[in-house]
Amino acid sequence: MGNSQRRVPAHAQRHPHRTPRTRKETAPLRPGVDPRLKKVFERIGIPEPAPFVPDPFQLEALDAVREADCLVTAPTGAGKTWIAEQAIERIFKKGGRAWYASPLKALTNSKMIEFGASFGVANVGILTGDRKENPDAPIIVGTTEILRNQLYDAMHHGRTLDTDFVVLDEAHYLGDEDRGVVWEETIIYLPQRIPLLLLSATVGNADQIARWMTAIRRRPCRVVEETRRPVPLYPIVQHPGGMLMPLFVSSGTSKKPHLYKKVVDLLNDRRAPSLAPPGQLPPFGAMLAILRKYHLLPAIFFLKSRADCDRALQLCLENRVRNPEQATLLSERLAQLGERFPHIREHRQRWMAERLAVGAHHSGQLPAWKQTLEMLMSEGLLDAIFATSTVAAGVDFPARTVAFLNSDRFNGREFMPLDATELQQMTGRAGRRGKDHIGFVMVVPGKFMDIRQVARLLRAPAADVHSQIRINFSMSLNLLLSHTPEEVEALLHRSLAAFQHHGAAMGGEQAAHTHLWNDFQRHLRFLQVTGFVDDQNRLTDDGLWAAQLRIDQPLLVAEGLRQDLFPREDPAMLAAIMAGMVNDKETDEHLDRKSVPNPLIKAVKRVVRGLQGFAKHMLANDFDVRPIFYRPTAAIWRWASGLPWEQTVQAAQMAEGDLAMLALRTADNLRHIVGLRHVFPEMADTAQEAIERILRDPVMPEYTTEAPVPVPEIESAGT
């Protein structure tokens, strides 16, 4: 996604009659602070070191999980992880086992380091798909999908999950459109005997979620809510002339904050100056100079696209690192990280990180480079990160200031106005506990910034979480491993969707359940017709092994295996075909077909022809089928064939991060084929070799169990 993406400004979406303003020419930024900010800025500084004292909500939550499930909602940085660590320690000291599940691999990797330091490396294992280390350890950290899959296996074999305590971090993912179903399944399937701790910064309807859990798990679920931020957040506005001013003020007898008059005047001035000409980015170097002058660094700037994040670095050339200590530490740390991640030594943006103390963090970057920036930021060595909104969830590098240039975000399909949850996730990065007395969110006027909307969202309560459960073939197969259709119907009655529709309308609960049950029956009928389920509603031999394909397109892959369509003795070609099966982004637009090797074209055509009838049958029954494109298959074929990374990226015409993610997802599909060794031994061996070929540096960064290097506070970085 780049600047070529057409969109309507967020404010124009709500006010289609509004015409664009005619603005004056841009002028150099002049540092300045509104008098109303004087007392606020006097609070900026580093708190004196003090012994940790738990907050009342932390102690309340610890007490709750002794005898009940618990849902904790508290602002980012309030100390929710401390609750989990203390609860896990209590279980661990009694000889018990604990499972800590999170939505993001990066977050899981960081928890592995934290827990290893707390409980000993030998006592902590990690399961993310990419990493499987010490799986029999008493404390496991992993992704929620892995935990859900373990519950599937436990139900199938008639045993209970081998743990005594489960933590679901980032619990608001329950309402995530794409992955929320995994959280809901996990809560539904988890045995009643296992206490459950849910942690989230943003759940507006926490009481409703707790009532649902109490109803389906037959054990109380207590809500522990903390609304106070450990580091207060103060919203400010960057005037296009350079002046910093408050977004809200309280005046007169009214204690309710309202928009500052100077902000209102700016919004109403049709000829107000602009920070940047149309279509261009603002002068970030000058903006950083202002933030530095008033001790507001380090900062995170949220921008709308990857391209903007990369271009922003070029506008920071005046932000040369002048503090000798910071310069030395940056050079030394990058040299150390270069030993671990060889590809970052020549990274095109390394010079900016080392000399300008700035970085661009987005999904188009290599995992190793993103991890490098995260470590440098966490260690206080960078002045600013320019990031897309995806960095807001789960990545832990708080800053003193978070800046917004847009009141909308790209959700992968279109630009949509930010909602309260998204904004709160991003502002949660502002203010570092133990390093800041106060954090700032800076609103930057511009074409795609609706300041009034942002002001409303900053004061809005957290958004409600709604069920995203839906039936798919992987779920259907795995439930049929251990349940009759009648038992599946009973499980669907326990869904959050049914609970939330109860009482919402006449027959709402029944309507939600009926929809899910009808959709399950539709999937069941197709599985029967295609030979994965027999007429007694039991999995056939094919259904039994197909249930282990817990991937996006399990039936198409299973059919390919049944028909022996995949290359059995060519690891690179098998990896290429699997890349085509997982891809949901790349297309063959502008692809030169002459650049695709003939053997690859033949292999793809063989698979497409062989699956054509099955795919048509799926489409005729309203099931989605993704096409196989040559671009992703050719990219992974080259990489698996041994082509150097730089040449593979160039030939693929893909961003490094996209290619790395494609390789990781391909490896995940291949792992499921490896798991079918008892049925397809030759194919499993080829899949294993294919994984080893594509998970080489720089796709798979070397993980460490070491904690971040402590560094002294640096004046240049905002103290």
By the 8 A CB rule, do 491 and 560 touch?
no
By the 8 A CB rule, do 409 and 387 touch?
no
* CA-to-CA separations, 425 to 206, 263, 405, 446, in angstroms, rounded: 17, 24, 16, 22
Give the pair of three-digit tokens for residue 12.
């124009």
Beta strands in 96-159 (DSSP E): 98-102, 124-127, 132-133, 139-143
Residue with tokens 């939550």: 61
Phi, psi of 124 (to 5 degrees): -125, 130
Beta strands in 530-628 (DSSP E): none
3-state DSSP assignment of residue 539: strand
* CA-to-CA separations, 165 to 67, 72, 153, 162, 545, in angstroms, rounded: 12, 15, 18, 10, 30
- Tell me the pairing of strands 221-225 and 196-200: unpaired
Residue with tokens 């599985």: 527
User: pLDDT, tens digit, for every residue of 640-679?
Assistant: 999 999 999 999 999 999 999 999 999 999 999 999 999 9
In the prediction, which pLDDT does 518 show? Answer: 96
Q: Does the pLDDT of residue 4 top 60, yes or no?
A: no
Cis peptide preceding 257, ω within 30 of 0: no
Environment class of 301 (CB within 10 Å of its CB; exposed 0-12, middle 13-18, buried 19+): buried
CA distance 397 to 252: 39
Give the pair of three-digit tokens for residue 274.
């602009």
Contacts of residue 215, defined as CB under 8 A and 6 or more positions apart, other chains included, come to 494, 499
In the prediction, which pLDDT does 43 show? Answer: 95
Mean pLDDT of 208-212: 97
In the prediction, which pLDDT does 708 show? Answer: 53
In the prediction, which pLDDT does 669 show? Answer: 96
**Band (277; pLDDT cuts 50, 70, 90):** confident
User: pLDDT, tens digit, for every residue of 457-469?
Assistant: 999 988 899 999 9
3-state DSSP assignment of residue 633: helix
Position with higher pLDDT, 370 vs 710: 370
Q: Does the pLDDT of residue 711 top 60, yes or no?
A: no
**Band (521; pLDDT cuts 50, 70, 90):** very high
For residue 245, which of 430, 37, 436 has the smallest C-alpha distance? Answer: 37
Mean pLDDT of 207-229: 96
Rg, C-alpha atoms of the chain: 27
User: pLDDT, tens digit, for every residue of 69-117?
Assistant: 999 999 888 899 999 999 999 999 999 999 999 998 878 888 998 999 9
User: pLDDT, tens digit, for every residue of 13-69?
Assistant: 444 333 334 444 566 788 999 999 999 999 999 999 889 899 999 999 999 999 999
Q: Does the pLDDT of residue 713 top 70, yes or no?
A: no
In the prediction, which pLDDT does 105 show? Answer: 83
* CA-to-CA separations, 45 to 246, 296, 429, 431, 692, in angstroms, rounded: 19, 10, 17, 11, 49
Residue 367 forms beta bridges with which residues? none
Phi, psi of 71 (to 5 degrees): -115, 115
Beta strands in 582-641 (DSSP E): none
Mean pLDDT of 562-586: 93
Contacts of residue 280, defined as CB under 8 A and 6 or more positions apart, other chains included, come to none
